[in-house]
Structure 1
Amino acid sequence: MTTAPTAAAPPARLHTLESALGDPFADDNPLGLRAALEADERGEMFEAGETALHAYGLGAEFVPTALGGRLDRLDHLVEIMRSVYRRDPCLGLGYGASSFIAGVNLWTAGNDEQCRRAAELLCSGRRVAVAYHELAHGNDMSGTEFTALSAPGGLLLNGRKEVITNVQRAEAVVVFARTAERPGSRSHSQLLVDKAQVPAGHMTYLPRFRTSGMRGVQLGGIEFRDCPLPADAVLGRPGQGLETALRSFQVTRTTLVSMFTGLVDTALRITVDHVKGRRLYGRTAADLGHVRAVLATAFSDLLTADCFATVATRALHLVPEQTSIHAQAVKLFVSKTLMDVMNQLSAVMGAHFYIREGASAAFQKLLRDIQPAGFGHAARAACQVSLLPQLPLLARRSWTGETGAPAELFRPGSGLPPFDFRRLAISAAGRENLSTSLTAGLAAMPDGSGPAYTALRAHGEHFARELLTLAEECTALSPAELSVGASSPTYDLTTRYVKVLVAAACFETWRHARGTDDTFLADPAWAAAALHRLRAPLGTPAPLLPDHLQQPLWEELLDRCARSQGLGLLPRPLAG
């Protein structure tokens, strides 16, 4: 068998950041979990952490290399941000991700001067906030009441935006506003508001919102009254604000939720340490079969989530015309999976999961901080509503085909072409070949033996049949069932489809690892475990892993924890 190329080494700056932040579990580390927890107790941003990230120059990671930054690969950005999230998710969101969201809109639609100004701010350690939502309208951006209407000399801003990260600390804000009174999608634009240029008396900050999770993140609001703004503040052409948002969401929904795997990595390590030290019935909790089964299953779910998010992130580079589908699916599946893993771990921790002192004190903070993964930036339900109307067209144009996705999609860490924000399409137009990769992969499945291999083939065949069943059911849907008022069984079709996408990502990642020197990914056990969990009927708890799949994952989990290696798809070396 021909040996495929090994994964490319991660960027050296990832090791630089890990080393600078140090071992998060060391009590004497001023940048560790204990110090982050103390800031959380005070409801403040972790100041020492922000100083360290400023010294590293994290803002430059959000700026494309063509504009003087370091953003060349989105998967590298995710890895770098995982290093932050595994220590303090508030730093991940409050120092970094909010500026990244704003930046993506600028790199997607901004002119040269707007991009240059934003790049200058971020590369110098300053911030750009983003103001999409209004509390009265939630995820319904078409209901936006904030206006930026034409006036002599330019535009006049009127209205308020709430729950904005870093609105007071940012030097500029990307604002989604109504720029025409008429109804329809062409009535909204995005604007770059440089706060230094806002005349006195026209802008007011609203009180900070206090939250149960992400306590340190500075969430506030802003109100404008007859605030003059030059007409060239608009990103792109007037009326294209919603289109810009739909393109940028493909990047942010895919990458932001993937960053949260760093949080779950830390929580899983805390739980492993806890059960190894906790004595029950004359032995450690780690010696109990059920405890091992739960932790091995949690590790499997983390790997599954990471695999799907990694494939979708690589798709942004390789097949950007399809990523309007992948982004919705990642938000739906990965966020729920990560939150479910945290709940599984809290059951193992018992009463220790909410104790705010001692060795496991950080767990309760992480359990609170994971919640925005499901609703932050865009709610899971909103993604489901967006995905549902596309199913019939996908069924007709894609699901009965046998063409698979490019092989490079399934080789984590390997080289990628440069990412071009402007290649993103609003709609996939019914074209998507990740799901059909499963059929193609089964036809090319290498020979093998053993219970894990046999299970993987059987599970793969199940999901290939499921895609054909979905094609029949979705083709027969009436237009009335494609709206917000669709029935629950119809909405379930989106969940079933997403499971096929995840199964295809895991199966193909395993298949393309065969013949490489990655012995873990080439072992069918992890992929068979992923598909085993995915096969649970909707509305029922997924079963724990059987012994023949559980044991290799348990051993891999213990080994990585002992070696301070990442618990994701690729075992990156970590500080500690």
Structure 2
Amino acid sequence: MTAAPPLTGGSDISPGRSAAARLDSVLGDPWDDGNPFGFAAVLRADERAERNAAAERTLDAYGLNAEFVPAGQGGRFRGLEEFVDVMRTVWRRDPCLGLGYGFSSFIAGVNVWATGNTDQQASTARLLLRGGRAASVYHELAHGNDFSKAEFSARASDGAWLLNGRKEVITNIERADALVLFARTDDAPGSRSHSQFLVPKEAVTGGRLDHLPRFTSSGMRGVHLGGVELTDCRVPQGCLLGSEGHGIETALRSFQLTRVALPAQCVGIVDTGLRAALAAGLDRRLYGRRVVDIPHVRSVLARVFADLLTADAFCRVVSRQLSVSPDETPVTASAVKYLVSRLLIDAMDEVRGVLGARAFLREGPFGIFQKLARDLAPAGFGHASRAACQVTILPHLPRLARRAWFRDGPAPDTLFHTSPDVAPVDFAALMPGGTRSDHLSGTLVALAEELPGLPGRLARRFAAELAALREECLTLPPTDLTIDASPHAYALAGRYAAVLAAAACLGRWRQARDDGAPFTGEEAWVCTALDRLAARLPGGGLLTDDERAEAEHALFEQLLRRQEEKRLFDLTARPVPG
């Protein structure tokens, strides 16, 4: 493995000024203290636990809400990969704005795009495009992620729906113009007892609608988390979203986008955290030399860089899968949410050591780190917990072991292309479950057979892991396919997520290599990425000490180069302000 050549005006995606680059120019240099979207302003708003109003006005002027509306409805949303790149420009600076300004509207809107009728989709598009907000009203503290137990009720009454119940910890509930409500419409147990409703606040009549006091939090302080209690409130019959009793199915379809989009945006948090740690290591002297000249520190930074690239590769591949082969995303989307959130949280924990005491300062040039670390923490449980994602994966494992693994061929090359072009997401094609194929693991098996050298050796290690998983999953008892599964079964879901991530990294690297892309076509990052993933599996890492040291040296040199050239640390290596 050799060090990557300098980047010469490009990344591994096609040239041209992307939407993300345009928004970056609008938002400006985050290290500029006079910038309303700069870290100094972000920290001041965080100390007040309030929204950054000036930054929100900037996003209003830009029209960020158009990113949440499909192109066919007059917006700019086409594919999830491009959407995430645009939204990362916000999340890199302030995750509170990323979530609180609009991603909560995207979460609500996906349900409408997936199952709403023509009028509902058109009205939601108009609402968002004129700067309004929608809130996703699912959560009840008594039931957490088990929304099948939700008690909030909607009952048919004289040509309308009568709403009763309480919802808590909802983003933007007070300032939302419309609510996507998840409600029980049948007292019988089972998957047909809940429905979803698109409720414009202005359509609520009668009874009482009471907003609950704000919930405060240690992370995402600037996000207004509230609640609502409705008592005998009436809404029109046409507020029903999709078919009665299909609320859970609609949720499972929409989750395939949101479970990928949330951790994918959080990659931007770690990009800034790693940038701050590297800057601190270059600035600080210890034991008579720069901190970054200490071998252990260089190793930590290189490994975190590899983890960031792993997370980005996995998110990008599954984002494309939503357009290319959406029948497989009921499983892979949950695998992304489970694994990537853990990778990113661990990465921030590792680079905290490079910053030392500076990692806890709430002001100054590195004060942004402690805020970002707190804001990242909910990635492991927000929207859907990691355990809930494992439960989603579990019932698919025996079926995939019987029908897909080592039977399905490789995924289409489109899944790994480094150009941004991909077919728009077809919301109607999203399935609630029942995945029977796995061409991503088919790519892993194919590459294990054809790749020479070190990448081939690593690919064969993960193919062997897939073979071991197949043997174990074929014998899983029915009791291990539910929430009551054994710890061993939960671990199988985690191991499978690591195998899928390895396949995504190998596929993306092989395509970049064939395209002649700088750095991302080199072996250093993919070998370190797979070595790090293998460390999470039985048997541990795969590289020898010398192989690991050589790869980490190349990674660190690339990290320095990107810092000097002001480029992102993700697979795009796109130039950014500041």
- TM band (smaller chain): over 0.9
Q: Is the 8 A contact 1:11 1:76 kept in 2?
A: no
Q: Deviations over 1:244-285 (max 9, x none)?
A: 000000011011110011111111110001010111111110
Aligned pair 1:550/2:552, yes or no? yes
Q: Match for residue 495 of structure 2?
A: 496
Q: Match for residue 323 of structure 1?
A: 329
Other structure's SS at 1:203 match: strand
Identity over aligned residues, as a percent? 49
Q: Match for residue 459 of structure 1?
A: 458
Q: Is the 8 A contact 2:408 2:438 kept in 1?
A: no
Q: Which has the higher contact order (CA 8 A, sep 6+)?
A: 2
Aligned pair 1:133/2:139, yes or no? yes
Letter in 1 for 2:551: L
More displaced stretch, 352-361 vs 131-140: 352-361
Q: Match for residue 252 of structure 2?
A: 246
- Quick one: distance in 1 between partners of 2:94 and 2:87? 10
Q: Deviations over 1:157-214 (max 9, x none)?
A: 0001000100011101100001112221111110011111222652110100010010
Q: CA deviation at 1:478?
A: 1.5
- Quick one: distance in 2 between partners of 1:481 and 1:419? 33
Q: Match for residue 407 of structure 1?
A: 413
Q: Match for residue 212 of structure 1?
A: 218
Q: Match for residue 485 of structure 1?
A: 484
- Quick one: distance in 2 between partners of 1:479 and 1:164? 35
- CA 1:539 to 1:398, structure 2 compared with 1: closer, same or farther past 3 Å? closer
- Quick one: distance in 1 between partners of 2:51 and 2:37? 12
Q: Is the 8 A contact 2:443 2:503 kept in 1?
A: yes
Q: CA deviation at 1:514?
A: 2.2
Q: CA deviation at 1:21?
A: 0.5
Among candidates 368, 385, 389, match of residue 383 of structure 1: 389
- Quick one: distance in 2 between partners of 1:429 and 1:378? 20
Structure 2 matches for 1:248-263, cutoff 5 A? 248-263=254-269
Q: Is the 8 A contact 1:311 1:412 kept in 2?
A: no
- Quick one: distance in 1 between partners of 2:435 and 2:92? 37
- Quick one: distance in 2 between partners of 1:71 and 1:49? 22
Other structure's SS at 2:205 match: coil
Aligned pair 1:515/2:514, yes or no? yes
Other structure's SS at 2:383 match: coil
- Quick one: distance in 2 between partners of 1:347 and 1:540? 27
Q: Deviations over 1:2-44 (max 9, x none)?
A: xxx9733466432221011101112232220110010000000
Letter in 2 for 1:146: F
Q: CA deviation at 1:468?
A: 1.1
Q: Match for residue 446 of structure 2?
A: 440
Structure 2 matches for 1:233-382, cutoff 5 A? 233-382=239-388
- CA 1:55 to 1:537, structure 2 compared with 1: closer, same or farther past 3 Å? closer
Root-mean-square deviation (Å): 1.7
Q: Match for residue 145 of structure 1?
A: 151
- CA 1:101 to 1:402, structure 2 compared with 1: closer, same or farther past 3 Å? closer
- CA 1:378 to 1:31, structure 2 compared with 1: closer, same or farther past 3 Å? same
Q: Is the 8 A contact 1:400 1:471 kept in 2?
A: no
- Quick one: distance in 1 between partners of 2:307 and 2:435? 31
Q: CA deviation at 1:348?
A: 1.6
Q: Is the 8 A contact 2:74 2:125 kept in 1?
A: yes
Q: Match for residue 532 of structure 2?
A: 533
Q: Deviations over 1:299-353 (max 9, x none)?
A: 0100001000110101001000110011110001100000000000112211111
Among candidates 409, 415, 418, match of residue 424 of structure 2: 418
Q: Is the 8 A contact 1:298 1:344 kept in 2?
A: yes
Other structure's SS at 2:231 match: strand
- Quick one: distance in 1 between partners of 2:88 and 2:97? 11
**TM-score with structure 2 length normalisation?**
0.95
- CA 1:215 to 1:514, structure 2 compared with 1: closer, same or farther past 3 Å? same
Letter in 2 for 1:560: R
Letter in 2 for 1:407: D
Q: Is the 8 A contact 2:60 2:131 kept in 1?
A: yes
Other structure's SS at 1:206 match: strand
- Quick one: distance in 2 between partners of 1:166 and 1:126? 11
- Quick one: distance in 2 between partners of 1:145 and 1:537? 38
Among candidates 43, 55, 58, match of residue 49 of structure 1: 55
- Quick one: distance in 2 between partners of 1:464 and 1:273? 39
- Quick one: distance in 1 between partners of 2:124 and 2:567? 35
- Quick one: distance in 2 between partners of 1:402 and 1:136? 42
- CA 1:10 to 1:187, structure 2 compared with 1: closer, same or farther past 3 Å? farther
Other structure's SS at 1:223 match: strand
More displaced stretch, 151-160 vs 541-550: 541-550
Q: Match for residue 429 of structure 1?
A: 435
- Quick one: distance in 2 between partners of 1:9 and 1:167? 40
Q: Match for residue 562 of structure 1?
A: 564
- Quick one: distance in 2 between partners of 1:192 and 1:422? 18
Q: Is the 8 A contact 1:402 1:440 kept in 2?
A: no
- Quick one: distance in 2 between partners of 1:568 and 1:338? 13
Q: CA deviation at 1:540?
A: 9.3
Q: Match for residue 115 of structure 1?
A: 121
Q: Is the 8 A contact 2:418 2:511 kept in 1?
A: no
Q: Is the 8 A contact 2:209 2:231 kept in 1?
A: yes
Letter in 2 for 1:563: E
Q: Match for residue 81 of structure 2?
A: 75
Gaps of 5+ in 1: 448-453
- Quick one: distance in 2 between partners of 1:471 and 1:171? 48
